[in-house]
Amino acid sequence: MYKFVFLTFVVLVSSSDDKDLPPNFPKCYRDWPIEKFDDCMVKATEILQPILRVGVKKLGFPPLNPLLLPEVTLEQEGNTAAYKAYVTNFALYGLDNYNFKKIHFDWKKHYAVVEVDFDQVYITGIYVFNGKLLQIPLEGQGDFKANITKATQKTIKDNIADLVETLKPAVVEVIISLFKNVYFKEMDSIPYDTLFPKTKK
């Protein structure tokens, strides 16, 4: 199990466009008490899970399993690890098995705090790695496969056991960035009154 907690800003778009929500898209009403609204948003992620698993092309949501990216750069600068890794044919498996524990909206400040758990997240790709781990120079290239929720695999040819654990922070940043800059960004383009309507009087 791996837990992600992040903050994302919500841009409120008032103008209309052609991004109508699918008929089965859950509705949470913005004039509800905030606790009820936040609970509704968490339940909405459960309803959307099978939909997001295969993607929603009309809304610009790519499939969650696997989530494919042509290229990703992972890098870190620190005392124990300093490296840069380029990964092509990057694929993330397991993001569809998410469990949102908390979504809290702040309407006045236009942001949301999100807490989500993932059971197992696997990454694959072709890597080129150059850097230092525990002051030991390392470089290598080849196929890359790892379970970032359980660092048991050795992914570089000379079997450096701590490499996957070292790469975790950078991979976590990639996953958070994907949620914030792909899924939440696409939500920002949906009109405010469509995404979060008021209750009908």
Higher pLDDT, 23 or 167: 23
Question: 7 falls in which pLDDT band (50, 70, 90)?
Answer: low
Residue 155 has pLDDT above 70, yes or no: no
Contact partners, residue 24, CB within 8 Å, separation at least 6: 47, 51
User: Tens digit of pLDDT for each residue in 134-148?
Assistant: 677 778 888 878 787
Residue 46 has pLDDT above 90, yes or no: yes
User: Tens digit of pLDDT for each residue in 95-106?
Assistant: 899 999 999 988
| Domains with residue ranges and CATH for the chain | 2-195 (3.15.10.30)
Question: 165 falls in which pLDDT band (50, 70, 90)?
Answer: low
Lowest-pLDDT choice from 30-34, 58-62, 165-169, 171-175: 165-169
**pLDDT given for residue 110 in this prediction:** 77
β-pair type (111-118, 67-77): unpaired
CA 12, 36, 113: angle at the middle one, nearest 5?
A: 50
Distance in angstroms (rounded) separating the CA atoms of residues 96 and 161: 28
Token duo for residue 17: 């466009």
Percent of the chain with pLDDT over 90: 19
